[in-house]
Amino acid sequence: MKIDVHQHLGIRGIVAKEVRDLFDYVVLNPAYKYACMCCVDGFYQQWMWRRGKDYLQLGIYNPKCRVPAEIELGRQYDKGIVGIVLNPINHDFNLKDAWKVYQFAEDHDLPVFIYTGKGKGNPGDLKGIVEEFKVKFVLLHLGYPDYVEEAKELIKVDNVYGEVSLVPPSVLKEFPKEKLIYGSCYPYVPLSIIDDKEVLDNARKVIRF
């Protein structure tokens, strides 16, 4: 099965060809490419765009939002999200301060996708958190470029996985293949499709399809 867990179609300002037909499942990510302190980035734009289309969607939440996590994520859950995105890099928060999001994810059996690689996106800050919560965590970009070693250590935990977009093949080889999940980051990044069937299928270990 071919699954892409990381496309940004449907957000205002993005004009790109749809590549849905290349995959069995495509999961939309509502995060903006550049820094934005929005509570939910492009979630509602993307949700409106995908209505009537065969896409799945992640929710997103900024812990600095005035609306409580359980209320905002509850709204998104009612709209059918299959996971939650945290973006400590653009939203400028410490991962240890997002415990309400982890709790919501645990209560609703949702995976949490976390941007890593620079700034406050250090996988090392999740140490302890990934053991405390019964949640599957996915490290977007696998800590590349600044926190690869921290990602390599954290991915040893059973409920932690890594998403491969933007990560050079030479770095990917240092991670266990059974823990890698395919994400393209399209159209922020030109689409490149890998031919590894295991990696393309691994998202089924994390998301309910």
Question: How confident is the model at residue 199, as a pLDDT?
Answer: 98
Cα–Cα distance between 49 and 122 in angstroms, integer? 32
Sheet containing 56-57: give its strands across. Answer: 3-7, 25-28, 56-57
29-88, pLDDT tens digit by residue? 999 998 888 999 999 999 999 999 999 999 999 999 999 999 999 999 999 999 999 999
Q: 208: buried, middle or exposed (CB in 10 Å: 19+, 13-18, 0-12)?
A: exposed
Question: How confident is the model at residue 121, as a pLDDT?
Answer: 98
The position carrying tokens 């993005």 is 14
18-42, pLDDT tens digit by residue? 999 999 999 999 999 988 889 999 9
Cα–Cα distance between 82 and 147 in angstroms, integer? 27
Residue 79 exposure: Cα atoms within 13 Å on the Cβ side: 24
More confident residue, 137 or 15: 137
Short-list 116, 93, 3, CA closest to 39: 93
The three-state secondary structure class of 137 is strand
The three-state secondary structure class of 144 is coil
Cα–Cα distance between 209 and 147 in angstroms, integer? 30
Question: How confident is the model at residue 34, as a pLDDT?
Answer: 84
Q: What number is the average pLDDT over the span 10-21?
A: 94
Q: 151: buried, middle or exposed (CB in 10 Å: 19+, 13-18, 0-12)?
A: buried
85-97, pLDDT tens digit by residue? 999 999 999 999 9
140-181, pLDDT tens digit by residue? 999 999 999 999 999 999 999 999 999 999 999 999 999 999
- Which residue(s) pair with 60 in the sheet? 85
